């Protein structure tokens, strides 16, 4: 068995040991196995250096080579004794003292023989001509269907690599819209081709007044590795799509409300939808707020099994339930129950509001201590990628929240004037932040050169649109004392302690409100042990 060279000759391959991980098996390229070849890929950004365990000069991931990561995986399978230790690999890296050789079962698959002559002198696939300009087809009178159509199974009708797209005016319009969207947002060629394949599958046989349901083609978009929302956006512009996906809140409520009586399920569902969608006299709430309030009301209803309706709940029931809660949970439950019964009174579902005039105890603000230097060093060490280092710098130096880091735009960075605007508050740029920003901008320009996303941070998913990166894409320092939010708090406390707990200075530096600045100043006075917290700061 062998691989073919560029001139068609067969190059014999033998079973040998990988030069990097010493695994015995078929090599993939350059004398190494396929996993090691992928581990050293340039786009992963793993630097070369001395491994902390085996002391070899290899590509390192968090300071360890791939051979030591494989050894840590074997150690975890042998020594893990609980669920947490069976998931984490990092604790086993420091204890590596020997290496267990293993077999490499990877193989180099042979490509099918070429059907077209090889092109020399030009790399990559030749550029395809953009689709011609097209608009909405002219509508004609058609008979509406008597019965709603059933589920449809879409299958590919033509391969664009071997032939032109079918002659359908709806398909021509869809391809033109996809091309203009891709040009405006800087899509990669792979994403453009994936979108074209999906549109050909959906619109090759489309006729007016047919409608395309999202539930019918969600699997098609997943097979072609294209974001479903982008396909829906193109079809929505053409006004031929029906989004029949159930709302995420509906499934969650159906599960949580399953054990309650029918009136409770009806009223709580209506109230939750009002919170989500808003009303003429109330604004819509965020998804997290709706879930928190609904969960608090459901927990309260579960403690009143003798009450079959909202109107049967008394003030004693409410106070008894709130007495079992403490801290933030009690504060959230008080707000949720007051909103629920106020809504019920407005819609005449109850005769009297049992929460009228109810005030819960105010939860005192916590007193945060300063982080230890080792905790900050651990967070800095965990930031191994360019975007992770940028997140740590913005949180630890400029006290930026994770949401504010995600919302930063390129226009908020003024490298010429050495200024950065975070949440509308302009701040000077220090040398560390400037160098970190330059490193990230160079990586961003090389990784996504054509993206039209105006945000500073861009991921593979957000580079195709204009939205910020997801909350889960931001650096996750879970398990460490110095999370991004904790680094932000420590930065504000450090500034407050250094300046003598002056709230005016904190408000000017970080753009805080009056109440927030006073709260941080009070926290700083507790740390420095000021015996006169009401004393005005000295004027220099």
The reported pLDDT for the residue numbered 100 is 81
User: Which residue has 């280092």 as its token pair?
Assistant: 389
Per-residue model confidence (pLDDT) at position 531: 46
Domain 373-525 fold is hpI Integrase; Chain A (1.10.443)
Query: What DSSP string runs through 316-368?
Result: HHHHHHHHT--HHHHHHHHHHHHHHHHHHHHTTS-SS-TTTT--PPPPPPP-P
Check residue 296 and give its pLDDT. 94
What pLDDT score was predicted for residue 26? 81
In this structure, of 95-104, 196-205, 249-258, 427-436, the range with the lowest mean pLDDT score is: 95-104
Residue 52 has pLDDT above 80, yes or no: yes
Element counts in the chain: helices (H) and strands (E):
19, 12
pTM for the predicted model, two decimal places? 0.65
Residue 5: strand, helix, or coil: coil
CA–CA gap between residue 408 and residue 363 (Å, rounded): 32
Q: What gap in Å lies between CA 272 and CA 293, rounded to an integer? A: 8
DSSP string computed for 217-262: HHHHHHHTT--HHHHHHHHHHHT-EE--PPPHHHHHHHHHTTTS-H
- Residue range 141-160: average pLDDT? 73
3-class DSSP state of 471: coil
Cα dist from 215 to 72, 152, 211, 459, 531, whole Å: 43, 9, 12, 27, 66
Distance CA 412, CA 102 (A): 51
Q: Return the pLDDT at 357.
A: 87
Helix (H) / strand (E) element for 16: namely: strand 15-17
Q: Encode pLDDT of 75-85 as tens digits.
A: 888 888 777 77
Q: What SS3 state is found at 174?
A: helix
- Of 97, 72, 99, 96, nearest to 86 by C-alpha is 72
Residues in the chain, how many? 540
3-state secondary structure 414-439: ECCCCEEEECCEEEECCHHHHHHHHH
List of residues 6+ apart from 288 with CB closer than 8 A: none
Domain layout of the chain by residue ranges? 2-104, 169-242, 248-346, 373-525
Which pair of structure tokens corresponds to residue 528? 């420095």
């Amino acid at each position: 068995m062998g691989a073919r060279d560029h001139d068609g000759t067969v190059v014999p391959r033998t079973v040998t040991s990988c030069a990097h991980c010493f695994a015995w098996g078929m090599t993939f390229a350059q004398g190494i196995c396929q996993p090691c070849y992928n581990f050293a890929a340039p786009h992963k950004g793993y630097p070369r250096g001395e491994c902390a365990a085996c002391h070899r000069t290899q590509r390192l991931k968090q300071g360890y080579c791939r051979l030591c990561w494989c050894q840590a995986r074997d150690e975890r399978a042998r020594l893990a004794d609980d669920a947490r230790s069976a998931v984490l690999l990092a604790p086993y890296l420091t204890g590596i003292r020997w290496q267990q050789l293993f077999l490499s079962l990877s193989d180099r698959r042979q490509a099918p023989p070429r059907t077209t002559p090889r092109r020399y002198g030009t790399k990559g696939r030749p550029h395809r001509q953009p689709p011609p300009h097209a608009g909405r087809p002219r509508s004609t009178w058609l008979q509406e269907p008597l019965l709603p159509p059933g589920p449809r199974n879409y299958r590919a009708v033509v391969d664009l690599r071997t032939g032109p797209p079918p002659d359908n005016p709806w398909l021509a319009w869809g391809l033109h819209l996809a091309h203009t969207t891709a040009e405006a947002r800087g899509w990669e060629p792979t994403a453009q081709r994936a979108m074209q394949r999906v549109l050909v599958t959906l619109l090759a046989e489309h006729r007016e007044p047919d409608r395309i349901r999202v539930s019918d083609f969600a699997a098609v978009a997943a097979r072609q590795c294209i974001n479903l929302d982008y396909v829906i956006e193109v079809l929505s512009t053409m006004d031929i799509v029906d989004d029949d996906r159930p709302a995420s809140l509906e499934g969650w409520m159906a599960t949580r409300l399953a054990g309650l009586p029918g009136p409770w399920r009806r009223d709580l569902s209506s109230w939750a939808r009002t919170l989500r969608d808003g009303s003429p006299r109330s604004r819509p709430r965020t998804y997290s707020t709706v879930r928190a309030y609904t969960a608090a009301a459901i927990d309260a209803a579960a403690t009143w099994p003798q009450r079959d309706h909202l109107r049967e709940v008394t003030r004693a029931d409410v106070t008894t339930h709130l007495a079992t809660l403490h801290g933030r949970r009690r504060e959230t439950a008080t707000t949720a129950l007051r909103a629920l019964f106020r809504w019920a009174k407005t819609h005449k579902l109850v005769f009297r509001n049992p929460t009228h005039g109810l005030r819960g105890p105010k939860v005192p603000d916590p007193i945060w201590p300063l982080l230890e230097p080792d905790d900050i060093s651990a967070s800095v060490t965990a930031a191994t990628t360019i975007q992770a280092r940028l997140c740590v710098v913005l949180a630890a130096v400029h006290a930026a929240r994770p949401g504010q880091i995600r919302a930063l735009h390129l226009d908020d960075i003024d490298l010429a004037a050495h200024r950065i605007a975070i949440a509308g508050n302009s701040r000077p740029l220090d040398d560390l932040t400037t160098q970190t920003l330059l490193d990230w901008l160079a990586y961003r320009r090389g990784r996504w050169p054509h993206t039209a996303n105006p945000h500073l941070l861009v991921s593979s998913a957000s580079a195709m649109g204009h939205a910020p990166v997801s909350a889960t894409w931001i650096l996750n320092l879970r398990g460490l004392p110095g999370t991004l939010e904790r680094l932000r708090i420590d930065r504000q406390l450090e500034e407050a302690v250094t300046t003598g707990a002056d709230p005016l200075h904190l408000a000017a530096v970080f753009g805080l409100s009056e109440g927030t600045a006073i709260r941080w100043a009070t926290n700083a006075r507790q740390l420095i042990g000021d015996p006169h917290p009401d004393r005005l700061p000295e004027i220099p």
